[in-house]
Amino acid sequence: MAAASATVRVSANNTITASLISKSPLQKPSIFHLCFRNGAAAAQRNRLFSCSAIYNPQIQIKQHGQPETLDYRVFFAEDSGKKVSPWHDIPLNLGDGVFNFIAEIPKESSAKMEVATDEQYTPIKQDTKKGKLRYYPYNINWNYGLLPQTWEDPSLANAEVEGAFGDNDPVDVVEIGESRAKMGQVLKVKPLAALAMIDEGELDWKIVAISLDDPRASLVNDIDDVEKHFPGTLTAIMDWFRDYKIPDGKPANKFGLGNKPANKDYALKVIMETNESWAKLVKRSIPAGDLSLI
């Protein structure tokens, strides 16, 4: 069984250091696959996911500029100071159904923070519209962020979700644990359910997950456990994402798959497929357009 731990330290100069320590993160019985994103060596047997990077466990989170300004960026770097991409360089799969999750928006906040997929090293920044910083009309009630090494291909129509095309972003995660994450924090999570949100015609997956550090993590392993131990949470998540654009005069978002959340197995299927799309992207099998692959 893979073992891993994650710690976060905040220094006096507002530098957050996240340490990821893992043992055999890519191994499961009869399954082995690894890929060196910037190297020539690769080995595989009975593919689980299309590409999982081997990554130095020491990551520093460095803030540039002042929060809630157009210039604010949160960069990820190695101890040497070399910048890395939270989207491309942090591994997705830790084995045994556990994945890395990067927190972009801490729970109970409203600034719409996101990885800048079109900037080198894809730092976290606050989203803008018409040159103005974007905020949700009310706080988001869960930690929100992304699964690294995933991508929703905008050229790929999903026949199971009304033929909707991907939204050109990494897969989003709604983490339902009780603790408030820090922006840029990397957490180990296990997926529990998937929501097929359709936003202005684009497919925008939401994976519902829980941090392994949460006191109730051992109690929830699939969608039915969420309703049992976090009653009403799945409905609340769907309502929040359905309605958050309405105060701005936009129509409500929709959900595919019968307007119901899908179970853990389906969530794992979504993660596998979007990881494969990401692998094609970084191998340049698919045109990157304005996306940064650095």
Q: Which residues are catalytic?
A: 136
Looking up tokens 């929703």 gives 152
Separation CA 53–CA 22 (nearest Å)? 13
Q: Which of 54, 15, 58 has the alpha carbon at shortest distance from 183? A: 15
Q: Could you tell me whether strands 73-77 and 58-64 are parallel, antiparallel, or unpaired per DSSP bridges? A: antiparallel
Q: Which of 90, 133, 92, 91 has the alpha carbon at shortest distance from 114? A: 133
How far is CA 79 from its chain centroid? 23
Separation CA 236–CA 199 (nearest Å)? 18
